[in-house]
């Protein structure tokens, strides 16, 4: 009996040890990989305070660099791809299929958006975060935008006062719209025509650049640029902000939509769901959209909570298109871009 009692006690002790020590404790960590200047620090601090989760937050400046880093083996829990990268990331099995029951705030998404969602129609792998557009940005006291056309880029008055982004899909997409084509064209002849248009624009610009473009505009070394308005405005003082104008060319341009996804290799999946749902709460989206002046009409419940006027609205983007994945036809854009960069 004594032997049996000791064995029984030992078994109880082993079970207790397994429960308290052997079972992994719930993780309090989360790694997020996002665009630069895309969530206000105050919102991130609120998340950490309210959840107790330790947030490791890294940033990138292009989808290409994000994609390459993940392919290279970097591990993050949550990423913010643009929609044209979602199909290829799904194809390469890089994203976790979402359990939307763990993201109840996703139910607030504007229903009409579903009709435009070609990248992930059922949001199986992505929760829409934000949409917007690049704009032609200019100094009001130096530039007359005329009828608001891409033709401004060929006006001789502004030769060597223009800088454009170094982004083949963005710039060739703009030229495609200028010529009446889709920004997602896979027609080689249309892309060639767009290339010819960009070569005409190139005669008047200083360079294609992603690093110096904001500071060169802020210093008034250039007067016209194509960029994200919120990013450019962040470089300016209050007086210059009032002098900064933007317009969306009448022919249309390139829109973006960025989403939140959980990577297939995520180590903190529950915390990833908590983060995505926290960001999508109307009060948090309102803070984010107010901070950067985004249209923010994807989640209608945020409208009543906003305290700032959007920098622009979706109504100004009716001629523009969302980027879509063009698959193997991306090589047509890359080849055209190489020829543009190499031309005199």
Domain map of the chain by residue range? 29-132+255-312, 135-252+325-342
CATH code given to domain 135-252+325-342: 3.40.190.10
pLDDT at residue 321, rounded to an integer: 93
pLDDT at residue 296, rounded to an integer: 86
pLDDT at residue 61, rounded to an integer: 84
pLDDT at residue 24, rounded to an integer: 52
* Distance, CA of 78 to CA of 80 (rounded, Å): 7
pLDDT at residue 112, rounded to an integer: 81
Q: Is 70 helix (H, G, I), strand (E, B) or coil?
A: helix
* Distance, CA of 299 to CA of 289 (rounded, Å): 11
Question: Which secondary structure element, helix H or strand E, spans residue 246, and what is its range?
Answer: strand 244-247
Q: Is 5 helix (H, G, I), strand (E, B) or coil?
A: helix
- 29-132+255-312 and 135-252+325-342 share one fold: yes
pLDDT at residue 8, rounded to an integer: 41
**pLDDT < 70 regions, the chain:** 1-25
| Cα dihedral 226, 229, 230, 233 in deg (nearest 10) | 100
Partners of 57 in the β-ladder: 32
Query: CA dist 20 to 24, 63, 127, Å?
Result: 9, 43, 36
* Distance, CA of 54 to CA of 77 (rounded, Å): 13
Query: CA dist 269 to 62, 106, 125, Å?
Result: 24, 17, 13
CATH homologous superfamily for 29-132+255-312? Periplasmic binding protein-like II (3.40.190.10)
């Amino acid at each position: 009996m004594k032997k049996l009692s000791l064995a029984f006690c030992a078994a109880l002790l082993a079970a207790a040890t397994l429960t308290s020590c052997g079972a992994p404790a719930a993780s309090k960590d989360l790694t997020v990989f996002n665009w630069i200047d895309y969530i206000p620090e105050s919102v991130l601090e609120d998340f950490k305070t309210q959840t107790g989760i330790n947030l490791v937050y890294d940033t990138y400046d292009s989808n290409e660099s994000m994609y390459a880093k993940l392919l290279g083996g970097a591990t993050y829990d949550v990423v913010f791809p643009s929609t044209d990268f979602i199909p290829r990331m799904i194809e390469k099995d890089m994203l976790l299929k979402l359990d939307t029951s763990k993201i109840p705030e996703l139910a607030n998404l504007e229903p009409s958006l579903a009709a435009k969602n070609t990248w992930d129609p059922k949001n199986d792998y992505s929760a829409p975060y934000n949409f917007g557009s690049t704009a032609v940005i200019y100094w009001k006291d130096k530039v007359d935008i005329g009828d608001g056309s891409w033709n401004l880029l060929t006006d001789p008055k502004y030769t060597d006062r223009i800088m454009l982004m170094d982004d083949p899909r963005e710039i060739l997409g703009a030229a495609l719209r200028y010529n009446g084509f889709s920004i997602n064209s896979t027609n080689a002849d249309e892309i060639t025509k767009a290339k010819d248009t960009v070569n005409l624009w190139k005669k008047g610009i200083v360079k294609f650049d992603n690093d110096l473009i904001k500071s060169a505009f802020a210093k008034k070394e250039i007067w016209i640029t194509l960029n994200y308005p919120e990013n450019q405005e962040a470089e300016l003082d209050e007086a210059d902000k009032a002098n900064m104008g933007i317009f969306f060319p009448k022919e249309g341009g390139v829109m973006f939509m960025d989403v939140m996804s959980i990577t297939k290799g995520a180590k903190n999946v529950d915390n990833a769901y908590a983060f995505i749902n926290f960001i999508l709460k109307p009060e948090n989206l309102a803070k984010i959209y107010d901070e950067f002046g985004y249209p923010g009409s994807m989640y209608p419940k945020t409208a009543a909570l906003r305290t700032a006027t959007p920098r622009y609205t979706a109504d100004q983007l009716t001629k523009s298109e969302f980027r879509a994945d063009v698959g193997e036809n991306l090589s047509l854009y890359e080849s055209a871009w190489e020829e543009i960069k190499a031309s005199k």
